[in-house]
């Protein structure tokens, strides 16, 4: 095995050779800490400066262990690389170099080639089932899969955003070696693999840090999940940065999607994380850092981060497709055409304007490349946070959805698909957990309470119909039924996605580097014309009409070539008009 000495301050155990390991724990609020080798010795750990405890012990890969705090509470390693069972159980010592990579020369792919496919490992069937479907995704035109969070969570059913052991892949999904095998297989097919990471909070069950490292948190800053994480402390910053580096370096993930970073108040942490990643990743390797950030901080995209999920783009398209206006969709329902124009012409809609709470949100974004924005029509949040997990295919007119799909797959923004979307799956994706006791009751009632402000859930009896997140039936209902993929309706959607992605890879992707926004204008209610300058000087032109009536359009410039019309020949109505619920994409050669 490769001898990898611990960096000073590094969290987690390090194998020193085939028979010994160094164990470390940052526990500044503990009076004493002992290492407990399951089935073996209990060894007192030496107290070092700054709250660290350490000990060297005889141990091999596979050894189970825990820490005994003040001779009264045994806890797992917060930097555990694997768990023997669940979040309260012993940790497992892992050799990070044991897996023999078959595609060790893989360097990733440039960002502009990215077509993301978000999936939940559990509902998709586990690592082995995902491997079996990778070839079909590559054949479709997907170039990257994005795994919802893997950090060990309580129970065996969870979205993953309740993770408490951030270094340990969820045991119910498989071993660390099986995860590496999935990534290795994907790389062999030319597919990148991204992981969604949660650095803004820990889940409510199984987090023992409050007991022995209270300074991991700060009581003067609150998040939706409780006390904020204290990123002012070096030990805390390193805990999360080392975690990011573990996924990228040891598991060879090609990128991170960072969940809800607007809930990280410290403005210096994200730039430092990005700088550390860029400094430590091997030269020539493509690694991509993607944000979810309600604050629309375009300044983070200028240098530190690759792209951001464009919730604005989703929200305006969803509102126009469904006419929904409750909750945050109300912000987009009002003045929706102008918001559509701003999204198509500049990326973000909120660039400093006040939101529904009267708060200024966002920074100017029109100077960014369109590839700085990840666009989606569906994702785990926008589907799963609906009361009944409805998919878009059941909420809108099929022609309008095909028009929006044209925008998704042929615009210069980076497209993201949500599992099953590409074949028109109708199974819901619900919110699910596997909590027990009082916590299960609180999660159930909290879930139902989220919809109290919606008119259709105004009475308690109606809210009780919202599926219980902890019921196994809720989880089972969220699994895509792949046996339906060959039915005629679903084959039609697959052919549309395959056709559009073929156009994207042949006509758009080779020209994407160096692309820029050229602006957009309204053509009528819920209709817009948008233009983008591509890297080779050519121009991409979108005509989009999500309304129920035809709208007038100017003649197409000479030399513009039609790439796709969402309604085919049916959309070729009288000259000078764009048919209702349709989209056309043109490519005009450089002049």
Instruction: Give me the active site residues, please.
Output: 259, 292
* CA–CA distances in Å: residue 310 to residues 77, 89, 358: 36, 39, 21
Nearest 10 degrees: CA dihedral of 258, 184, 167, 74? 150
Type and span of the H or E element at 179: helix 176-188
What number of helices (H) and strands (E) belong to the chain?
Answer: 16, 28
**What single DSSP character describes residue 354?**
B
* CA–CA distances in Å: residue 271 to residues 207, 215, 243, 363: 27, 22, 16, 17
For the range 552-557, what are the long-range contacts, defined as Cβ-Cβ under 8 Å and sequence gap of 24 or more? 552/523, 552/524, 552/576, 552/577, 552/578, 553/523, 553/529, 553/577, 553/578, 556/586, 557/588
Quick one: three-class SS letters along 21-88? EEEEEECCCCCCEEEEECCCCEEECEECHHHEEEEEEECCCCCEEEEEECCCEEECCCCCCCECCCCC
What span, in angstroms and rounded, lies between the C-alpha atoms of 186 and 123?
A: 19
φ and ψ of 344, to 5 deg:
-70, -30
Nearest 10 degrees: CA dihedral of 108, 112, 115, 120? 60
φ and ψ of 115, to 5 deg:
-130, 105
Give the tokens for residue 402: 């095909």
Alpha helices (H) in 478-559, listed in sequence order: 488-503
What span, in angstroms and rounded, lies between the C-alpha atoms of 589 and 563?
A: 12
Give the tokens for residue 46: 């030496």
| Helices 488-503 + 127-140 axis angle, to 10 | 60
- Name residue 289's beta-bridge partners: 256
- Sign of the CA dihedral running 86, 18, 32, 27: negative
Quick one: three-class SS letters along 207-273? CCHHHHCHHHEEEEEEECCEEEECCCCHHHHHHHHHHHHHHHHHCCCCEEEECCHHHCCCCCHHHHH
Q: Are 469 and 428 in contact (CB under 8 A)?
A: no
What span, in angstroms and rounded, lies between the C-alpha atoms of 477 and 549?
A: 37
């Amino acid at each position: 095995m490769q001898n990898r000495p611990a960096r000073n301050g590094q969290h987690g155990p390090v194998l020193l050779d085939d028979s010994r390991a160094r164990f470390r724990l940052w526990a500044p609020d503990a009076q004493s800490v002992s290492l407990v080798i399951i089935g073996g010795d209990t060894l007192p750990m030496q107290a070092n400066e700054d709250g660290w405890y350490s000990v060297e012990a005889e141990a091999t890969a596979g050894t189970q262990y825990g820490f005994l705090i003040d001779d009264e509470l045994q806890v797992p390693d917060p930097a555990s690389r694997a768990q023997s069972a669940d979040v309260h159980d012993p940790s497992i010592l892992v050799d990070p170099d044991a897996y023999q990579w078959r595609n060790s020369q893989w360097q990733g792919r440039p960002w502009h080639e990215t077509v993301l496919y978000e999936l939940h490992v559990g509902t998709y069937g586990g690592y082995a089932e995902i491997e079996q479907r990778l070839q079909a995704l590559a054949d479709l035109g997907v170039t990257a899969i994005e795994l919802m969070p893997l950090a060990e969570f309580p129970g065996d059913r969870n979205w993953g955003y309740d993770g408490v052991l951030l270094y340990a892949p969820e045991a119910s999904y498989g071993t660390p070696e099986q995860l590496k095998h999935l990534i290795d297989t994907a790389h062999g097919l030319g597919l990148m693999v991204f992981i969604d990471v949660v650095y803004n909070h820990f889940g409510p069950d199984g987090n023992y840090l409050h007991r022995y490292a209270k300074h991991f948190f700060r009581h003067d800053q609150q998040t939706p999940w409780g006390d904020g994480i204290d990123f002012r402390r070096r030990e805390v910053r390193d805990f999360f940065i080392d975690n990011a580096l573990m996924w990228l370096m040891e598991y060879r993930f090609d990128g991170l999607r960072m969940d809800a970073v607007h809930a990280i108040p410290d403005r210096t942490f994200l730039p430092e994380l990005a700088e550390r990643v860029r400094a430590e990743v091997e030269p020539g390797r493509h690694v991509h850092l993607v944000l979810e950030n309600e604050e629309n901080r375009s300044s983070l995209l200028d240098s530190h981060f690759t792209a951001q999920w464009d919730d604005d783009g989703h929200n305006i398209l969803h509102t126009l497709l469904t006419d929904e206006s409750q909750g945050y969709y109300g912000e987009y329902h009002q003045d929706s055409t102008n918001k559509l124009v701003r999204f198509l012409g500049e990326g973000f809609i909120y660039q400093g304007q006040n939101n529904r709470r009267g708060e200024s949100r966002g920074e100017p974004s029109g100077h960014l490349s369109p590839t700085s924005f990840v666009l989606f029509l569906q994702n785990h949040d926008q589907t799963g946070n609906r009361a009944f997990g409805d998919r878009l295919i059941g909420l809108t007119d099929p022609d309008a959805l095909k028009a929006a799909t044209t925008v998704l797959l042929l615009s210069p923004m980076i497209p993201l698909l949500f599992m099953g979307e590409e074949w028109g799956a109708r199974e819901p994706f619900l919110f699910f957990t596997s909590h027990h006791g009082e916590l299960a009751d609180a999660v159930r009632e909290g879930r139902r309470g989220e919809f109290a402000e919606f008119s259709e859930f105004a009475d308690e009896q109606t809210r009780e119909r919202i599926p219980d997140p902890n019921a196994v039936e809720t989880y089972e209902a969220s699994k895509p039924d792949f046996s339906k993929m060959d039915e005629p309706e679903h084959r039609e959607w697959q052919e549309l996605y395959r056709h559009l992605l073929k156009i994207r890879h042949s006509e758009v992707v080779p020209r994407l580097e160096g692309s820029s926004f050229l602006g957009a204008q309204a053509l009528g209610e819920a209709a817009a014309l948008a233009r983008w300058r591509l890297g080779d000087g050519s121009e991409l032109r979108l005509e989009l009409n999500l309304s129920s009536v035809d709208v007038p359009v100017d003649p197409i410039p000479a030399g513009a070539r039609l790439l796709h019309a969402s309604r085919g020949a049916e959309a070729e109505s009288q000259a000078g008009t764009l048919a209702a619920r349709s989209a056309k994409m043109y490519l005009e050669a450089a002049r």
